Amino acid sequence: MRLVRAALRHLPKYQQINNRSFQTLRSHRSYATSANPPSSVSAADLDFGQPVYETHPHMLKPGEITPGITAQEYYDRRAALAHSLPAGSMVVLNSAQLQYRSGAVFFPFRQESNFLYLTGFLEPDSIAIIHKTGDLLNDVTFHLFCRPKDPRLEQWSGPWSGLRAAEDVFNADVAHDISKATQTLPVLLRSASRIYVDLPPVTTPLGTTLRSLKTPMSTLQPHVNSFRAIKSQAEIANMRHAGQVSGRAITSAMRRPWKFEKDLHNYLDYAFTQSGLSGPAYVPVVAGGRRGRMIHYVHNTSTCDKGDTVLVDAGGEYGFYITDITRTWPVNGKFTAAQKDLYSAVLKVQRRCVALCRASAGLSLDEIHRATESGLREELTKLGFEGLNHNDSLMDALFPHHVGHYIGLDVHDVPGYGRSVTLKKGHCVTIEPGVYVPDDERFPKHFRGMAVRIEDSLCVDDDSPIVLSTEAVKEVEDIEALR
């Protein structure tokens, strides 16, 4: 049975991609694993380098390349980026490479974020080139360099997708053998009017090739950032799902007594994956007592003692989109008077600043940070902290980090995209005020050693934010009622 793609060649490109399917594939030597392959083979019986709908219908819906994100959306991203650049431009992306923990032991592979955003292709040893060929939105050619099928090597390393799937599944207009990149790349890249690339190391084939060219080059990252920073409805849906599951897991953790930080850490990792997420989005902070004052404490090897609070900064990932949540709660289920006062002060400011994350407010993250500092000064002064209105160093000691950052494919998303940018509909950010009281006589004795941080992930909308992590309870009464 012929590919549906072949039947759609008369349609405009965007319709081809929107309707493309591959229920069966004709036999092709790139897929063959025996001397006498059948004349046609079901896609469900093939092995690819990542889940596809035909092999993993429990993970993907028809048309999706990665969970929640369709082939059409990946194509639209490439077309929009190319359309924003000068005529004849080429965007060049190098995949991430497998990283080794020690000897032959490797870390789980994670694709480079810009490569992932524009292709959905999840394999190492790959290069993507997006060529703007004309002035129309659809005047774009997608080249994908990747590994050809190799049954012998795949027996050892697991399957990868191959050149035919690069075209039929991932919608490359032209697929190239990555082992021939040093011969093919120079010819292709010399036809560009300008190359947009974040230069890889000179030790890589791409790095060597790029440095040998005289074609003008520009840094790619700022151009991709402007698109990645504003999330589509599909991206927001992924992050909402990650926030919902993660929030419920954290609330569930609050119901239980924990003696050791590592047990709470392991419970959250399990709860995220048990409920359909791919796993934790980052190494969590599980900090009992005074260790909560260390912003990125991730040893998670000590105890959770009765009478203390535990600060947990954790979140799960779905379809490569993350959620970022922090909650602080009493180990024994009930706040002391001082803990409740400090927690309530931070919560009041956090709620106020979450409400500012709307497009109609016309504020940036930097401006919301200044509002956070002002609010914390006011609330802490009411609790007996002195000198905060006249001594910035005191405030810096109590609140040493920014109130928020962008989130998306990365925990700190779109690196280089400024916090001074006015928030617009589709920006996704965190709001995370915190107070970390040193054991210092400058501060009230009954608060010394305490740490409170409260963080939600949210999406900016026109008139009110969409809180993505609302299932993680944070009101004092709700936390205490869990036990």
Question: What are the structural domains of the chain?
Answer: 64-228 (3.40.350.10), 233-481 (3.90.230.10)
Spatial CB neighbours of 430, under 8 Å, sequence gap ≥ 6: 324, 404, 405, 407, 455, 456, 457, 458
Lay out the sheet containing 428-431: strands in order across: 428-431, 456-459, 466-467
Q: How far is CA 419 from CA 260, 285, 430, in A?
A: 37, 24, 12
Residue 21: what pLDDT? 43
Per-residue pLDDT tens for 223-274?
A: 999 999 999 999 999 999 999 999 999 999 999 999 999 999 999 999 999 9
Residue 334: what pLDDT? 98
Q: CA–CA separation, 203 vs 118, rounded Å?
A: 24
Residue 18: what pLDDT? 41
36 pLDDT exceeds 70? no
pLDDT class of 205 with cuts at 50, 70, 90: confident
* Selected residue with higher pLDDT from 207 and 117: 117
- Helix/strand/coil (H/E/C) assignment for every residue in 423-440: CCCCEEEEECCEEECCCC
Residue 40: what pLDDT? 64
Percent of the chain with pLDDT strictly greater than 90: 87
Residue 24: what pLDDT? 40
Amino acid letter, 156: W
Q: CA–CA separation, 96 vs 112, rounded Å?
A: 5
Strands (DSSP E) along 367-460, which ranges? 428-431, 434-436, 451-453, 456-459
pLDDT class of 44 with cuts at 50, 70, 90: confident
Residue 42: what pLDDT? 79
218 pLDDT exceeds 90? yes
Per-residue pLDDT tens for 136-147?
A: 999 999 999 999
Task: Among 14-18, 315-319, 344-348, 463-467, name the one with the lowest average pLDDT.
Answer: 14-18
What's the pTM? 0.92
**What value does the mean pLDDT take over residues 73-84?**
98
Q: How far is CA 52 from the centre of its chain?
A: 20
